[in-house]
Copies of this chain bind each other. A is one copy, B any other.
Amino acid sequence: MTMSLPADLWPDVKPDAARRLMYAAVESFAKVGFHGTTTRDIATAAGMSPAALYVHFSSKAALLFAISRDGHERTLEMVQRVAGTDGSPVDRVRLLVERFVEWHARRHVVARVVQYELEALPADEYTTVAALRRRIEQVVQSLIADGVKDGSFTVPDEKIAARAVLSLGIDVARWYSERARKTPKALGREYATLVLRMLGSSAQ
């Protein structure tokens, strides 16, 4: 694994061969995209023959969907967990940004696939994933709206502000690498400071 993927991805995927295929696929999808990745690339990297992929997944696109759906579900769980915490809107947005940015930095290989390889999904699968994305956005928007309502935040347009907050996290997936100067956690903290300022909070 040249990109040092976390060893704890997809713990429930069985058998091990299927998981190995997902590891191989996510790496290549992140590097050269879905269309730039051949089934032979994936199989070779997983130490198998190309036909083995079809024992575990119905198609190359099914592999992509498995990765994309799981990544979106993880992200949605994360933002929902933040939304379920006690605390002021400021505390919650701070925590949200820390967690969101940290996830995209630590998981930048997966995140790159999750954020940028949507077009390659077949239509039904795309619909599933798009719904998850909308829910993530809605959680972020409602956290910001809470802050506006209680006077902690002042933004000209809540939707654009939420979009900007998401953008900062999502773009981390594009640029972050192991050679980055900041750890994912440190980056998350720093970005949270920037975001709270952006939202007009005096508590930073």
A168-204 interface (Cβ within 8 A of B): 168, 170-172, 174-175, 181-182, 187, 190-191, 193-195, 197-200
A194 touches B161 (CB 8 A): yes
Stoichiometry, as copies per complex, reads 2
User: For A14, what are the chain B residues with a Cβ–Cβ distance below 8 Å?
Assistant: none
A15 within 8 A of B: no
A119 within 8 Å of B (CB atoms): yes
* Per-residue interface assignment for chain A, residues 117 to 134, with 1 indicating a CB less than 8 Å from any chain B CB and 0 otherwise: 001100000000000000
Question: Which residues of the other chain, B, contact A34 by a CB distance below 8 angstroms?
Answer: 36
Q: Does A12 contact B (CB under 8 A)?
A: no
Answer yes or no: A84 CB below 8 A from chain B CBs.
no
In this complex, how many residues of chain A approach chain B with their Cβ under 8 Å: the count is 37
Q: Does A160 reach chain B (CB closer than 8 Å)? A: yes
CA distance A161 to B156 in the complex (A): 21
Contact A33 B35 (CB under 8 A): yes
A66 / chain B contacts, CB cutoff of 8 Å: none
A74 on interface, CB distance cutoff 8 Å = no
A116, B116: Cα distance in complex, Å: 9
Q: Is the CB of B167 within 8 A of A175?
A: yes
A32 at the interface (CB under 8 A from B): yes
A31 within 8 A of B: yes
Q: Is A157 an interface residue (CB 8 A)?
A: yes
A163 within 8 A of B: yes
A120-B36, A160-B182 are known contacts. Are A194 and B190 too (CB-CB below 8 A)? Answer: no
Which residues of B sit under 8 angstroms from A161, Cβ to Cβ?
A: 194
- Provide the bound-state CA to CA distance between A36 and B182, in Å: 34
